[in-house]
Amino acid sequence: MSIATLDALLAGMRPPEFFSKVVTPTLVAGRPQSLWYLAGVPGPGAAAANTAGGVALSSTSALVAGQIRHVDGGGSAVSYLARFVGGATIAGQLLLCDRLMQVCGDSGGTALSVTSTSAQTVNSGTLPSRDIAGSANGDGVLWALEIAATMGSGAGNAPTISYTDQGGTSGNAAALIDPYAASSALGVFYRFGLAAGDTGAKSVQTFTNSATMTTGTISLVAYRVLASLEFGAAQTPNALDALTGCLPKLQNGVVPFLVFIPSTTTATAVTGQYVESQG
């Protein structure tokens, strides 16, 4: 089934889920900050174990710690994002994302090294079937370098990945969109770009540092952006509904989480509401 009318949209509305996070790490204007590890509502998530190939995430059997609540629709019901509203005490941009996979270890199950400058074999496993088409091909799936424990003073680093794109072509190279900085705080979310012509990344084969990060813990996170809110000024909330947000489909097992891109360095609180409709 699918929702094709406003009456069906209203009939399928689920109870709202509220979120509230105080963003305590030191912020940098324009640098994305994952709210995954922060206390609040929902409670904090955790970095995955150093599992070879990474850990695929799904809410179908049980909620994943750190995610905004989602329960799959029964039978043939399809879930949609019906409303997303949020605000912050500073201007910025709030991304609602689906967290598909997190990789803290290499292909042997050893923690990704933050000091090595050699290519580290990752060979991430099969993604959950939650790309744009509801498949595991990775269309619309992006990757980020997420800080899971505060980094050391190593600077001048330009991490890269080698990945397989949504069409199955391997060996594509991607660099960070957001410049890496020394002493990055917990939750900093450095986004990787894509090679020309690609629309997503199915898997990551290798990860390479150009310089040592000295100390700390990192994860590679596969994610897909579901919606985005712009806060033009402090204390100025914004919202998307079924029309302005284009009613994005939420694949079964979706793991919604938040990434905030601040406009200033001021600590902030991010609050809002997430509403699904199923039908």
2-61 per-position pLDDT tens digit: 898 999 999 999 999 999 999 988 899 999 999 999 999 999 999 989 999 999 999 999
Is residue 18 within 8 A of residue 41, CB to CB? The reply is yes
Averaged over 158-184, what is the pLDDT?
97
**Three-state secondary-structure class, residue 222:** strand
pLDDT of residue 160: 98
* pLDDT category of residue 157 using cuts at 50, 70 and 90: very high
**Between 75 and 170, where is the model more confident?**
170
Instruction: State yes or no: pLDDT of 186 exceeds 90.
Output: yes
Q: Distances in Å between the alpha carbon of 5 and those of 10, 12, 72, 92, 145?
A: 9, 11, 20, 33, 40
Would you say the C-alpha torsion 275, 134, 252, 94 has a positive or negative sign?
negative
Nearest alpha-carbon partner for 101 in 73, 75, 131, 127: 127
Segment 195-214 shows an average pLDDT of: 97
- Percent of the chain scoring above 70 in pLDDT: 100
Look at the pTM and tell me if it is higher than 0.85.
yes
pLDDT at 45: 97
pLDDT at 182: 93
First and final C-alpha spacing in the chain: 6
Chain centroid, CA 25 distance in Å = 18
Would you say 259 and 25 are in contact if contact means Cβ atoms under 8 Å apart? no
Query: To the nearest whole percent, how much of the chain has pLDDT over 90?
Result: 94
Asked if residue 265 lies in contact with residue 29, where contact means CB atoms within 8 angstroms, the answer is: yes
| Torsion sign, CA atoms 105, 106, 109, 113 | negative
Q: Tell me which residue of 228, 254, 232 sits closest to 32, measured CA to CA.
A: 228
Is the pLDDT at 161 greater than 70, yes or no? yes
pLDDT in tens, 104-156: 999 999 999 999 999 999 999 999 999 999 999 999 999 999 999 999 998 88
pLDDT for the residue 23: 92
- How confident is residue 191, by pLDDT bands cut at 50, 70 and 90? very high
In this model, does residue 1 exceed pLDDT 80?
no
